Amino acid sequence: MMTFRRWLIAVGVGMSLALPIGRAEAQELNPQPGSSPARIPDNAVYRAPKVELAFNRLYDEPELVEAMRRLVAAHPDLLTMESIGKSVEGRDLWCVTIANPKTGDPKTKPAFYVDANVHGNEVQTSEACLYLIWYLTENYDRLPQIRQLVDERVFYVLPTVNPDGRAWWFNGPNTTNSSRSGKAPQDDDRDGRIDEDTYQDLDGDGQIRQMRRRSPVGRYRAASDDPRRMELAPPGEFGEYELLGFEGLDNDGDGQINEDLPGGYDMNRNYPSDWRPETVQRGAGPFPLCWPETRAVAEFIKNRPHIAGVQSFHNAGGMILRGPGHPDRAPQYPAEDERMIRGIGEEGVRLLPFYRNLVIEKDLYTVHGGFITWTYENLGIVSFTNELWSSNELLGTAPGQAKPNDDLFAADRLLHGATFKDWTPFRHPTLGDIEIGGFVKESQRIPPPFLLEQGSHRNAAFVIFHADQMPRPEWLKVEATPLGGEVYQIDASVRNTRRIPTITAQAARHKLNLPDRLSLMGDAATILDGGELVNPDAGLTLGADSTAALDQDDLASGVRPEPRVVRFARGVPGLGAIHARWIVQAPAGSELRLRFESQKGGVLNRSLVLP
């Protein structure tokens, strides 16, 4: 019998991975010498993979690392694995690099960064990263689109930024929402003690569920259509229950329960862009990048200027999110970038049914010091956060059309009692007779096993699409025109066949990247002049020494750039081109060499023999 995974992969290949690579282009894809055979067997995606991994389950932190090691061992030609740092509790932050060094130096190729599990309880996001690694490597020799993508790009995949939080979630009882934090001790209630009043699994079932108590002045009542569900009593009426929060005791005797949980900070509020202190942004930490995990991630990305795309996986709600995180930041987002990024997100919601394409500050809430706002605002990288999983997926419900008992109906009919435990009596030492019940931690924010793989595949498809839209420069025109007396006019054009420019408008505005460079060289040639051809039809050229071709540092220093190198501070536009022109003196038959260099667009080389 065909497994669910193989069926899903087959469907996904047919429906989800529609990269803009033409049939002829795919047929002409020629591997470098020494790479894997180019022949793709028919229906290869239905065949057994090289590494069998189940994606209808969750992996704890050691299992996740072991699965990564298995993939690296099976695909040593494409995968490497390194620790980029340590967590608060000393766990490694493992990153897998996907690259084919046989098709060029990985450091000169456009790169894509993916991370997940920033919040400890958002566990299925790590499986989405694991699936991405597995899918790209297993299908390298099966799908020409994947082969071309991996040959031309580099992927850095960090499946868990918060291994301490992941271990805490797996190894102990938790609520449906705990614990987001890392595990550096914090004094949440400011009583001089740290992490002293956390949840207790009172009934010993391995879960932290809600507590309720009958009360003549309660504000809640059991719903008439399903007594397991609590609802507010109508205005002007008493209910029959009071809700007392999640299972726990008053461990420090201050009259409160569960008010000082382990950790208590938010690593997605700790990045430098628009960072605010705890008095403004709860969970921000004492200063930006104060936690070893956020510091390691920031240094890793900053040290790799060829990263041109970022994806961070979180849960839940079914959202593709982009910045800004605060209304005051919106004017800093150039309109041309916003149109391009929004367009990529619009393609994403086609790949991800039940997801919405949203702006953080406008459609969700305010975020100061967020990760993807930092990668875009401070580094100029096109960045998204996907909030994995929408409960609408359970019953195929349209957004906004869910009914109050849908989650219980799904728990009964689809999941057969796996995610909800009924209310049961318990004698609490200080609260007296109570009842404990509700959803288990493996629910609400996390899809059931039969939907885990589908979510991973669809999110991988979005990453693949986004990565394919990173800059892909190619030579458009290179030609020499004799002017007489061994003098030639050399014209060269480079076009970008993808949506994302080699330098985003944000990066150009704030000089976040080095300019792209088109250079001309020749052993027997003298470069008399050169510059950007801003209007090829009219022949309008900006010389290398014109102020329009210089940046402020050049103007301040009085440096006149060499005419052989033409710089483009705004890069190659998405689906656009740049043009350069040189005047050269050289004998006929001389060979000239052209080179295009871009931090995020890669390197192109071309030679030209003068007529």
CATH number of the domain that residue 454 is part of: 3.40.630.10
Same domain, 113 and 129: yes
Element (H, E) at 152: helix 144-152
Same domain, 10 and 159: yes
Q: What is the mean pLDDT, run by run of 10 residues, along the chain of 611 residues?
A: 39 38 34 48 78 98 98 98 98 99 98 98 98 98 97 99 96 92 76 74 96 97 95 96 94 78 88 96 94 98 99 98 96 96 98 97 96 98 98 90 92 96 97 97 96 98 99 98 97 98 98 98 96 81 50 52 92 98 98 98 98 96
User: Beta-carbon neighbour count of residue 565 at 10 Å?
Assistant: 18
> What is the rounded distance in angstroms from the CA atom of residue 213 to the CA atom of residue 241?
5
Same domain, 343 and 435: no
Q: Which pLDDT does position 40 carry in this prediction?
A: 57
Element (H, E) at 459: helix 449-468
Residue 396 lies in a domain: no
Q: And the tokens for 558?
A: 């009085």
CA proximity to 516, closest of 554, 564, 572, 577: 572
Same domain, 422 and 329: no
Same domain, 415 and 541: no
Same domain, 305 and 330: yes
Domain that holds residue 412: 186-261+404-443
- Side chain identity at residue 427, one-letter code: R
Burial bucket for residue 224 (CB in 10 Å: 0-12, 13-18, 19+): exposed
Same domain, 514 and 534: yes
Q: And the tokens for 285?
A: 């930490």
Same domain, 107 and 221: no
Please count the structural domains in the chain. Answer: 3
Q: Which domain CATH number covers 498?
A: 2.60.40.10
> What is the rounded distance in angstroms from the CA atom of residue 608 to the CA atom of residue 611?
9
Residue 177 lies in a domain: no
Residue 37 lies in a domain: yes
> What is the rounded distance in angstroms from the CA atom of residue 407 to the CA atom of residue 419?
10
CB 584 within 8 A of CB 526: yes
Helices within 254-302 (DSSP H only):
292-302
Residue 14 lies in a domain: yes
Same domain, 42 and 151: yes
HEC assignment per residue over 416-443? CCCCEEEEEEEEECCCEEEEEEEECCCC
Residue 481 lies in a domain: yes
Q: Which pLDDT does position 28 carry in this prediction?
A: 33
Burial bucket for residue 30 (CB in 10 Å: 0-12, 13-18, 19+): exposed
CA proximity to 80, closest of 164, 161, 154, 148: 154
Burial bucket for residue 349 (CB in 10 Å: 0-12, 13-18, 19+): middle
Q: Is 138 known to be catalytic? A: no
> What is the rounded distance in angstroms from the CA atom of residue 219 to the CA atom of residue 232?
6
Q: Which pLDDT does position 551 carry in this prediction?
A: 52
Q: Which contacts (CB < 8 Å, 24+ apart) does range 147-151 have?
A: 147/29, 147/31, 147/38, 148/21, 148/26, 148/29, 149/19, 149/464, 149/467, 149/468, 150/78, 150/98, 150/99, 150/100, 151/31, 151/32, 151/35, 151/100, 151/103
> What is the rounded distance in angstroms from the CA atom of residue 439 to the CA atom of residue 406?
13
List all residues 6 or more positions away from 290 whose beta carbon is below 8 Å from its beta carbon. 270
> What is the rounded distance in angstroms from the CA atom of residue 131 to the CA atom of residue 98?
13
Q: Which pLDDT does position 246 carry in this prediction?
A: 95
List strands edge to edge, sheet with 420-428: 230-232, 220-222, 241-246, 210-214, 432-439, 420-428
Same domain, 313 and 438: no
Residue in 122, 387, 393, 597 annotated catalytic: 387
Q: Which pLDDT does position 24 carry in this prediction?
A: 33
Distances (CA, A) of 526 to 54, 325, 522, 549: 62, 52, 8, 21
CA proximity to 434, closest of 247, 250, 175: 247
- Side chain identity at residue 253, one-letter code: G
Residue 292 lies in a domain: yes
Q: Report strand pairing: 591-598 vs 540-543.
A: unpaired
CA proximity to 17, closest of 506, 347, 496, 474: 347
Q: Which pLDDT does position 553 carry in this prediction?
A: 56
Same domain, 507 and 591: yes
Q: Which pLDDT does position 192 carry in this prediction?
A: 72
Residue 33 lies in a domain: yes
Same domain, 347 and 438: no
Distances (CA, A) of 94 to 73, 85, 157, 296, 325: 15, 8, 9, 11, 28
Is the peptide bond prior to 324 cis by the omega test (within 30 degrees of 0)?
yes
Residue 27 lies in a domain: yes
> What is the rounded distance in angstroms from the CA atom of residue 316 to the CA atom of residue 390?
6
Is the peptide bond prior to 316 cis by the omega test (within 30 degrees of 0)?
yes
CA 370 to the chain's CA centroid: 13
Could you give the angle at the alpha carbon of 305 between the alpha carbons of 109 and 274, nearest 5°? 140
Q: Which pLDDT does position 29 carry in this prediction?
A: 35
- Residue 120 is classified by DSSP as T
Q: Which contacts (CB < 8 Å, 24+ apart) does range 231-238 have?
A: 231/404
